[in-house]
Structure 1
């Protein structure tokens, strides 16, 4: 049975955030990185934010979304499930 624990990966060690596996024996784990931005320096984070803001400004300048009169309806339409290719039945 799989059990889930929260931890922070610090170098080559896991620092448990709450409950943890019982100590005293090796435990096989699968690690999924949830937030890769934890590794960013403040300068890298600021640069990423600036790039995102620049991209949004460029989209606004290009008029890419000017034909969307109802953003909520547009978003609902975009998110509708569609049949996968070859699975129309």
Structure 2
């Protein structure tokens, strides 16, 4: 099972926050995911804007003219079916 450790990255060095992995002196290849900064106003309003748009679609019956079976057939028609 993979374990996740929290750290801060500053000037190319990791500073462990909670648990620290027992690495010894070995050199390890690591993957770092940089999380978006929550202070970005666009990120804060994105969920609210999506909610407003979905609510608008629901109140105006924006999907009323779409037949879901026909839509699915159209989406799958360009893809070859395995084993057929």
TM norm structure 2: 0.45
Larger radius of gyration: 2
The structure carrying a bigger helix percent of its residues is 1
